[in-house]
Chains A and B, each alone.
Chain A
Amino acid sequence: MDTPSVRPGPSAPRARKANLYLAAGLVMTGLAVSLGVLGLFWTPYSTTAMSVPDRFAPPSLAHPFGTDNFGRDIFSRVMQGMGTTVCISVLVVLASAAAGVLLGAFTGYFGGLLDEVVMRFTDAVNGFPSILLALVMISLLGNGRQNLILSLSIVFVPSYVRIVRSEYLRLRDADYICRARLMGVNRLRVLFVHILPNILPVLSVSLLIGLNNAILAESGMSYLGIGIQPPEASLGNMLSDAQGYLQAAPWYALAPGLSIVWLVLGFSLFGEGIRRGGV
């Protein structure tokens, strides 16, 4: 009965480590996101103004990341690109998580025919590589920012449905949920007021992982030329433009590439910090 008292030890060092993850993640994402959001409204140089004499200028004080093949300031374009990428990814994650929570809550709690139908549908979606599926959808819907968001959201829904559904399955027979039913609390309230707060820890971690996947997916689509269209900057299409100048101007590819790594690493550390009970 009192065995739990035997091992209270490890929590303290673990908590300190979690804070380290959390702090590193917060600093990295904070820096990237604020630069990106700023970049949507203001950049040191115009992101589209071309200037032939400045072509392929290496990094310097005037151009910290150098300039590209049209003489545009890469730092400004990275700022704007990061802003675009983060914005799109956040919208994708919010849309797919909202749909995932709704579907997962109903299927997990009620089960039955709806559950079967939705689960088989998610199986089908999971059967294809998600990028491929998004590609097909965009080619059907046509290029454009909204279509990019829509198709990526649809592709990401199944993963949230699965996570949320399994949490609802786990909690629907918990004693405190039985008691809520006994009190006569109505079903929607049980689903979203009684159960939902208890899955937030799990959900928040998967939101951050989802954000990473969305960043990578968006960059990948833009790299392939079906996401954000030039001349508008995005990390993906910059990377694709830079491909031809890897030898002449390596900084051109490094800047957007490292920015993607920075973003993804930041969110990963942040997520890990939360998962380890930092918040």
Chain B
Amino acid sequence: MIRIENLSVSFGDTAAVKNVTLELRDGEILGLVGESGCGKSVTALTLMGLCAREARMESGRICFDQEVLAEAGKPRDEALYRAYQGARMAMVFQEPMTSLNPTQRVGRQVEEVLKLHTKLNAQSRRQKVLETFEEVGLRETERVYQSFPHQLSGGMRQRVMIAMAVILRPRLLVADEPTTALDVTVQGQIVSLLQEINRRQDNAMLFITHDLDLARRLCHRIAVMKDGCVVEQGETGQIFTAPAQAYTRKLIEAAPSRMRQREIPSSGAAPQTPVVEVKNLSVFYQEGSNSLFSRGRRRAAVQGADFTVYQGESLGLVGESGCGKTSLSKALLGMNRMIEGQIIHHTVRPQMIFQDPYSSLNPAKTVGWLLQEPLRARGALDPGLAMTKGDMEAAAYEMLLRVGLEEQYFHRKPSQLSGGQRQRVSIAQALITQPGFLVADEPVSALDVTIQAQIMELLQKLRQEMKLSCLFISHDIHVVYQMCDRIMVMREGRIIETGRRSEIFRSPKEAYTRQLLCGS
């Protein structure tokens, strides 16, 4: 039994974790959920003895069975921790690419654990690694053993990480967002694998995630964290059916889930005026070449796309990463000219919202300046639409209020805003010139769930107010479900299925669509 008692951790003057008490029994999976910055990772890293040196344990202690691993006020016993790390407790991180050494074959890296903690000889070490690879569902284990991390897919890398963590059958496995960086269909497989390992090895698992749906599927018990405190703790079923805290309820409601059929009002009149027509569009990119003398080959990222976006409609585009969604959107907006086929725009200057709120606003400018820039640009292009300084400022203030930000943000710089606030400014900037057509490329996937829900609501509201047509791109089919009237499913550069939202969800025609639906 592993106990974290009354743990508080702080960095300088800021407390990251406050009086957290958790208990893990053998064979139990405890989910630690909360938004980013709530202290769940710090808790896990402290438990593992991996916290940065600046972190100070203010109070509490960590016990492993009867042994006290760490206690506030006492220096950390590094030797004791080294004996525990890897052998009795192990961790799986979020990003498998950066957690593996890119210059070493993965087999060697896994073997390293055995070298450090066991007295096995080279032959049996190798044997053991191959066995473990098989256990975590890797095929062609010999080939994987000889591979470098970049030669493996994201899912395979995460399996290697898991193999490394479980090879010594640790009593405690800490998984910090192990599926967040993976595609939905792979996510499902990794979750099942973790479940299976837990059943087979009967170890305790601390599963950290911001995704409540995942936690619900995997965990026996759940602890909800907010601002460094555990606000609620209990059996999974109880947390989901009868959450005691308002915050827990808010988290559950915010998660885009197909459990609740949140209906969106369909956008009025029959959508028959086309805004954008795409005919037999293929998009290419130049592949980097290894040879000095030949140019890279032209590869198609999108092939034969055919669709129309109608006035006032919100069209969804789903697919896994790398399927060509972003290539399609860039081509649509004229950012990639290597295309074949036709794109006909019936609006001027369609706008786009990007995924990463941290890179889509110019960090050198104030919010007010950013909001006026589209108006200035429009005025410069078309003198008929030029506005006076005062008018532009008034328009910027008005737009700021419309996206739910107060006037005081007008003079702030992007670095002084949170992710959600930045995304609001992005939206304001895109919509201030009232474009008829907007492409939103994963606008919420970099945000926390509660913020996600707010941004989606805001987009929905503005879309209706401005009678906006929208192409909404996401890898998350539930997000698309909430935002869109019609949905297109894309796979390997082709649009394989298009249909009204209800059709796609009730009777998907393609096997792949079904997989996407159950995968998440």
A: which residues have CB within 8 A of B? 1-3, 5-10, 12, 174-186, 189, 194, 197-198, 200
Q: Are A176 and B36 in contact (CB under 8 A)?
A: no
16 sampled A-B residue pairs with Cβ under 8 A: A1-B177, A1-B210, A6-B51, A9-B12, A10-B54, A174-B359, A176-B362, A178-B352, A180-B362, A182-B350, A182-B351, A183-B377, A184-B377, A184-B378, A184-B381, A186-B377
Q: Which partner residue on chain A sits nearest B50 by CB separation?
A: A6
Question: Once bound together, how far apart are the Cα atoms of A124 and B429, in whole Å?
Answer: 45
Q: Are B433 and A176 in contact (CB under 8 A)?
A: no
Question: Once bound together, how far apart are the Cα atoms of A7 and B180, in whole Å?
Answer: 21
Q: How many residues of B contact A (CB 8 A)?
A: 49
Which residues 125-178 in B have Cβ within 8 Å of A in the complex? 176-177
| Contact of A179 with B14 at beta-carbon distance under 8 Å, contacts A5-B42, A186-B380, A198-B363 already known | no
Q: Are B354 and A175 in contact (CB under 8 A)?
A: yes
Question: Once bound together, how far apart are the Cα atoms of A150 and B360, in whole Å?
Answer: 41
Most buried by A among B12, B39, B333, B362: B362
Q: Are B41 and A5 in contact (CB under 8 A)?
A: yes
Q: Are B377 and A2 in contact (CB under 8 A)?
A: no
Task: Please give, as numbers and ranges, the residues of chain A lying within 8 Å of B333 by CB-CB distance.
Answer: 182
Task: Please give, as numbers and ranges, the residues of chain A lying within 8 Å of B430 by CB-CB distance.
Answer: 179
B490 within 8 A of A: no
B79 within 8 A of A: no
Number of A-B residue pairs, CB cutoff 8 Å, is: 102
Q: Which partner residue on chain A sits nearest B350 by CB separation?
A: A182
Question: Once bound together, how far apart are the Cα atoms of A5 and B349, in whole Å?
Answer: 39
Q: Are A7 and B54 in contact (CB under 8 A)?
A: yes
B237 within 8 A of A: no
Task: Please give, as numbers and ranges, the residues of chain A lying within 8 Å of B398 by CB-CB distance.
Answer: none
Question: Once bound together, how far apart are the Cα atoms of A68 and B76, in whole Å?
Answer: 66
Task: Please give, as numbers and ranges, the residues of chain B lying within 8 Å of A1 by CB-CB distance.
Answer: 36, 94, 177, 180, 210
Q: Are B433 and A183 in contact (CB under 8 A)?
A: yes
Q: Which partner residue on chain A sits nearest B52 by CB separation?
A: A7
B190 within 8 A of A: no
B431 to chain A, nearest CB (A): 12
Question: Once bound together, how far apart are the Cα atoms of A12 and B12, in whole Å?
Answer: 9
Q: Which partner residue on chain A sits nearest B447 by CB separation?
A: A1
Task: Please give, as numbers and ranges, the residues of chain A lying within 8 Å of B180 by CB-CB distance.
Answer: 1
B518 within 8 A of A: no
| Contact of A198 with B364 at beta-carbon distance under 8 Å, contacts A5-B36, A182-B351 already known | yes
B386 within 8 A of A: no
Most buried by B among A3, A177, A189: A3
Q: Are B433 and A179 in contact (CB under 8 A)?
A: no
Task: Please give, as numbers and ranges, the residues of chain A lying within 8 Å of B242 by CB-CB distance.
Answer: none
Question: Once bound together, how far apart are the Cα atoms of A12 and B14, in whole Å?
Answer: 13
Partner of A2, one of B41, B362, B364, B378: B41
Q: Which partner residue on chain A sits nearest B361 by CB separation?
A: A176
Task: Please give, as numbers and ranges, the residues of chain B lying within 8 Å of A6 by CB-CB distance.
Answer: 41-42, 45, 51-52, 55
Task: Please give, as numbers and ranges, the residues of chain A lying within 8 Å of B274 by CB-CB distance.
Answer: none
Task: Please give, as numbers and ranges, the residues of chain B lying within 8 Å of A176 by CB-CB distance.
Answer: 359-363
B463 within 8 A of A: no
Question: Once bound together, how far apart are the Cα atoms of A6 and B208, in whole Å?
Answer: 15
| Contact of A183 with B349 at beta-carbon distance under 8 Å, contacts A2-B40, A12-B12 already known | yes
B169 to chain A, nearest CB (A): 27
Question: Once bound together, how far apart are the Cα atoms of A234 and B485, in whole Å?
Answer: 77
